[in-house]
Amino acid sequence: MKESQQLNLEFSPLVEQGFDLAECPRWDWRQKAWCWVNIPAGELWRLKDGKAESRQWNDMLGCAAMWGESGFVLGTKSGVYLLESWEAERQQIAPLVKTHPRMRFNDGRAAPGGRFMAGTRNGAKEGDQGQFHQLMAGGKLEKMPMFAWTCNGLAFSPCGKILYWADTGTSLVYRADYNPETGEYGESTVFCDLTDFDGRPDGASVDSEGAYWVAMYSGKSVVRIGTDGVVTHVIPVPADNPTMVALGGEKGDQLVVTSAESANGPGRVLTAQVDWTGIKEPLVTVL
């Protein structure tokens, strides 16, 4: 079996602000901007033309996906919302029906084919586990048989026909077949077991070669996994709790890693250059 390589990169802050729990970095190719969320504060951030600005709601914001020319679909504690433009008021598409007050949407993104997909998190770890949901036409949230106390690591292969997700608690990454045209999916099977690596798998992305990059929460690192399920690289990150990774920017080779606060300081949004490129993030088109 191949041994993973340690890849040392030179990270710098994308922005100077600190955050409680920065997550869901995305390269917005429509607006030539980097976007991310600060979950506890209900904030959607973007860095455009060198200026950082945010929108805020009194609702924990777990994830955001691009919609239309400048809008977003938001996955929050209370449900799924449409934000038609940066300046618009959000509109609820579907409520999150839950049995435990600490359940909220966590990791999510636009799936190939245009459906919004997101997993939930039950921070209490009692009652119902979190679960992935897919937004279908007509605003119906379809529950998917993918369960974890913290559903994470959602990403798709460049061809759009493989879905990846992570169970943070067990450090297992799964894969399943996916049909972008219909939204149908196959049974989840273990893709990679990360229990021997520092930290736990959190948010993820896929590069143009099909490799899966995942932030290792409490592990001060990002792990790159090849299409065969074998870890190729471990990348140290100057943050205690990396939460998610994205590849984008004008040339596609800009790595952005978000993180959560720790005893050593606030969460950050960090960036470095890499020798790989990301894939274009799809828009949500099915509502």
- Angstrom distances, CA of residue 261 to CA of 19, 21, 91, 176, 181: 7, 6, 30, 32, 39
Q: Is 131 helix (H, G, I), strand (E, B) or coil?
A: strand
Is residue 48 a contact partner of residue 31, using CB atoms and an 8 Å limit? yes
Give φ, ψ of 56 to 5 degrees.
-140, 140
b/e per residue 45-75 (b: at least 16 CB within 10 A): bbbeeeeeeebebeebbbbbbbbeebbbbbb
User: How far is the C-alpha of 263 from the C-alpha of 257, rounded, in Å?
Assistant: 19
Q: Is 255 left (phi over 0), alpha (psi -120 to 50) or beta?
A: beta
Q: Please classify residue 287 by burial: count the beta carbons closer than 10 Å to its beta carbon, then call 0-12 exposed, 13-18 middle and 19+ buried.
A: middle
* Beta strand residue intervals within 226-273, DSSP E: 231-236, 241-248, 254-260, 269-273
Torsional sign, CA 28, 30, 31, 37 = negative
What are the residue numbers of the active site? Answer: 202
Residue with tokens 């290792």: 216
